[in-house]
Amino acid sequence: MELKEFLHMNGGDGELSYSQNSFLQRGVSLMSQPMLEIALKSIISEGLGPGKALKVADLGCGVGPVPSALASLVKENVKRECEELSWDDDDDDDQMPEIQIYMNDLPSNDFNLLFRDLLRMEEEKGEDVEGKSSKLPMCSLMGAPGSYYERLFPKESLHLVHANCTRHWLSQNLTFVLTPWGHVKAPSGLYRPEGRGINKGNVYISETSPREAYLGQFERDLTQFLKCRSQEVVPNGLMLLTFRGRPSSSDLATWQPWELKLLSLSISSLVSKGMLEKDKVDSFDFPYFGATKEEIRSIVEGQGSFAVENMKTVTHSVANEIECNEERAQKIGKFVRAFTQPVLSRYFGVQVLGSLNDELTLLALLHLDDGQPVDHFIIIVLLRRI
């Protein structure tokens, strides 16, 4: 079975859900908001023309606050821009652009919850503006399930593409294959010919990993993503991507996202307690890659369909509003669980998830007590279709 058939964030809106624990991703989307507003302004005032429909796609939208906030932000910005251009004239309703937002994710995403949230928000917003003279543009929301490594939309049909905190996931066209030491799945080249995992004891790049295999996979994936979008985005259209990346100064061999390091350590701890088989752990890798901004720029330029209009890096510290380390560690445990659980349960079995989460929360507490950073290095990129 391919990863794309079961990859998703934790569904529902309960305590362990992605929807309740995507505060980091929401923080990142807030940091990219100024660039998004500039992009919308540019599309509406420079190219769209009055009365035309604005078409936006949120790729790898997940569920929760980020896609909801995107829908509101697009509507509010269109309204504001129309006011500035005097396209909101009451006598001429046809001037204000209508909006179509496509919500894309893999089919196993919780689309029911996503649309329930979005429609509830529409109703609440509708009540807010009732009786006031301000009118929001008409907006239709559509589901577009599928992998963004494939074509999803008709040619030259999108004005704006948004993809928050998703492009660091490596492609899911890699199949889990059953070997004598368990199911193996990783970027090609990550396993020796005899199939033995190379990132032993780690779920991410370690000093013994063939780093080029990860970078090569990331390059092929981003190139394929850009190739698909180059056909779907209108000339001059824009694409806002945020990546979990790594600082340019960091060495690929030794840099690890701190939460994947904690995950590796918690998995190893369960091995030492006899709750997980060592070989199985050695053959598991998280489908994830943290690129530098230079690597991203070079891939975009190499593919050739988009120009880098703006690029910036920011850091975001997880749950830094919480002063008590114990509480913060609990929150970190839930945050990691919300995006790793479906993959981990498929690979190691649902029965170990509770223990794994307990280990990770404990390690997060030690990490915090030790004064270690829990920063995320984020790369925000605005691309323009050439």
Compute the least distance from the CB of residue 304 to ligand SAM, in Å: 22
Compute the least distance from the CB of residue 22 to ligand SAM, in Å: 4
Three-state SS annotation for 87-139: CCCCCCHHHCCCEEEEECCCCCCCHHHHHHHHHHHHHHHHHHHCCCCCCCCCE
Compute the least distance from the CB of residue 225 to ligand SAM, in Å: 8
Cβ closer to ligand SAM: 104 or 202?
Answer: 104
Q: Are strands 54-58 and 158-164 parallel, antiparallel or unpaired?
A: parallel
Q: Nearest-CB residue to ligand SAM?
A: 62
Cβ closer to ligand SAM: 58 or 295?
Answer: 58
Cβ closer to ligand SAM: 47 or 143?
Answer: 143
278 vs 298: CA distance, rounded Å: 38
Cβ closer to ligand SAM: 99 or 152?
Answer: 152
Compute the least distance from the CB of residue 40 to ligand SAM, in Å: 18
For residue 381, give Cα distances in angstroms to 21, 294, 309: 24, 12, 8
Compute the least distance from the CB of residue 94 to ligand SAM, in Å: 33
Residue ranges that bind ligand SAM, judged by CB under 6 A: 4, 7-9, 22, 25, 29, 60-62, 64, 66, 104-106, 109, 147-149, 164-166, 169, 172, 339
Nearest Cα residue to 160 out of 266, 217, 77, 93: 77
Q: Are 204 and 264 in contact (CB under 8 A)?
A: yes
Cβ closer to ligand SAM: 339 or 377?
Answer: 339
Q: Are 98 and 87 in contact (CB under 8 A)?
A: no
Residue 70: how many CA atoms within 13 Å on its side-chain side? 33
Cβ closer to ligand SAM: 74 or 82?
Answer: 74
> Is the four-CA dihedral 158, 39, 172, 221 of positive or negative sign?
positive
Compute the least distance from the CB of residue 325 to ligand SAM, in Å: 25
